[in-house]
Structure 1
């Protein structure tokens, strides 16, 4: 059976993990150490009181992080509470999934894409050009399950990089970055094909990806490749 949105939330956590988690009442706090919203946002299980919200805000500030919550499907009451407390919606995203077997019938051209770990220096440079620095690479290094870097070449030049990891038979692609000089050349599609081939070799049944709703090009790519939209989440940030 295809993974549901709750499964993909768990895959996201395992394949892009925070530095540390702490439970404070119904709130799960995450210490991101500069790794971005996904590893820094708190989540809430069940009802939360105003006092518990204030305590969570204080704990996040004590970590040097602004109050930030990830709002998932079924979190309507939390969403309303945060809105009433002045939290603004930030970065709504789509979660997509496709059977690995649906993508492995086609192979990228020879020596165009590779699965490699540790990341090559040129991969780090492409990530850096796209705003993905050492703190996010540290997130990749924290993953304990099967993982790989993705590297792509176009016209014999370094062109793209990404990261993939597997949890409960589902591979998820993160930090996919195509160098500005090589965009609109089909590299994003080839990188996803490479991710599927790696996932198949590692025994995964599904390939998944997260994409901000505002990224029309990437959303169109994943839809065209047969990815199914499984669910959503968004952030609410106070400061």
Structure 2
């Protein structure tokens, strides 16, 4: 924290610093915790009516009364990352979007509106990289109209926790009643260590998704649109470990330049803890290396402890959190 020459803690931030990454210390209210102080680091997304809102890396907004501040300062826009390949948020967001391509899209300024009959939010949400070319309220009205014409709820995909992410947009959406419905993390890592994990014996790779693969995927009655989304991407591979009645394990990989994405890794519950997920990832990683990729990314839920342990052991680390905000039920909220 900021300490003056006299050894006192000081608050060195003001409302003019909204949008910057800050670190603050506040005095806890009586009975709030056993600790006297609480430290919070994140982006200062508002400072109104005597209350600060700081958006943490996870996307959580922390409300702090101005009167409780003990110290505060501006800190670097993003912490130094010690693991994983170097990559900007924008690069990863665009690569991730190409791995789950919509069947229909339209530009709204620099925003991309994406739709695929509702199959996966990644292909049915706005990717707001840049300026929509109009005030936010007008942009959100246009977004809701576009999705409404397609019989779909409006979602906006945002991110927090890295340089160039969208904490300010998250705060503005929440102020307008948009609900953060889904939060996960995008992790990155080197591709070669994944390929070296196991031989991947028995893993069958294919360019096409078949009925056996879909039976393990666990989504019933997928439409032709859903199958198009699954097969989309610059270079798509499906991995299958054959089983008696259904595949013992499956996975999907999209190779895109230096990046390979891993998704849809599913294992028969009766055959877990036998290294099948590792075998699937290793086989896909070797194929991606053959196509010139060197880095990998994947998406993992915060509460999926088994997956997080597996990916950590392979050298992956969180790059940023991403969120899907759903339009408010009251159609007049953002107009």
TM value normalised by structure 2: 0.65
Alignment partner for residue 198 of structure 1, among 271, 284, 287? 287
* Native 8 Å contact 1:67 1:237 kept in 2: yes
Q: Which residue of 2 aligns with 1:33?
A: 117
Do the aligned partners of residues 142 and 102 (structure 1) sit closer, same or farther apart at CA in structure 2, a change above 3 Å counting?
closer
Do the aligned partners of residues 64 and 105 (structure 1) sit closer, same or farther apart at CA in structure 2, a change above 3 Å counting?
same
Alignment partner for residue 59 of structure 1, among 135, 146, 171? 146
| Larger Rg over CA atoms | 2
* Native 8 Å contact 1:27 1:56 kept in 2: no
Deviates more, 1:216-225 or 1:98-107: 98-107
Alignment partner for residue 186 of structure 1, among 268, 275, 280? 275
Where do 4+ consecutive residues of structure 1 move more than 6 Å? 154-157
Provide Cα deviations, 1:104-162, integer angstroms capped at 9, x if missing partner. Answer: 23333532x222121232112111x255834433202232x222101124689721112
Q: Which residue of 2 aligns with 1:90?
A: 181
State yes or no: 1:106 paired with 2:197: yes
Alignment partner for residue 216 of structure 2, among 108, 123, 126? 126
Higher helix share: 1
State yes or no: 1:140 paired with 2:230: yes
Do the aligned partners of residues 7 and 25 (structure 1) sit closer, same or farther apart at CA in structure 2, a change above 3 Å counting?
closer
Which ranges in structure 2 are unaligned for 5 or more consecutive residues?
1-84, 330-335
Alignment partner for residue 107 of structure 2, among 23, 31, 52? 23
Which ranges in structure 1 are unaligned for 5 or more consecutive residues?
none
For residues 190 and 121 of structure 2, the distance between their equivalents in structure 1, rounded to whole angstroms, comes to 28
Deviates more, 1:16-25 or 1:39-48: 39-48
Q: Which residue of 1 aligns with 2:301?
A: 212
Deviates more, 1:22-31 or 1:188-197: 22-31
State yes or no: 1:12 paired with 2:12: no
**Shift of residue 61 of structure 1?**
0.9
For residues 132 and 214 of structure 1, the distance between their equivalents in structure 2, rounded to whole angstroms, comes to 27
**Shift of residue 8 of structure 1?**
1.6
- Aligned pair count reads 236
Give matches, 1:151-162, under 5 Å.
Answer: 151-153=240-242, 158-162=247-251
* Native 8 Å contact 1:154 1:187 kept in 2: no
Deviates more, 1:131-140 or 1:33-42: 131-140
For residues 255 and 221 of structure 2, the distance between their equivalents in structure 1, rounded to whole angstroms, comes to 21
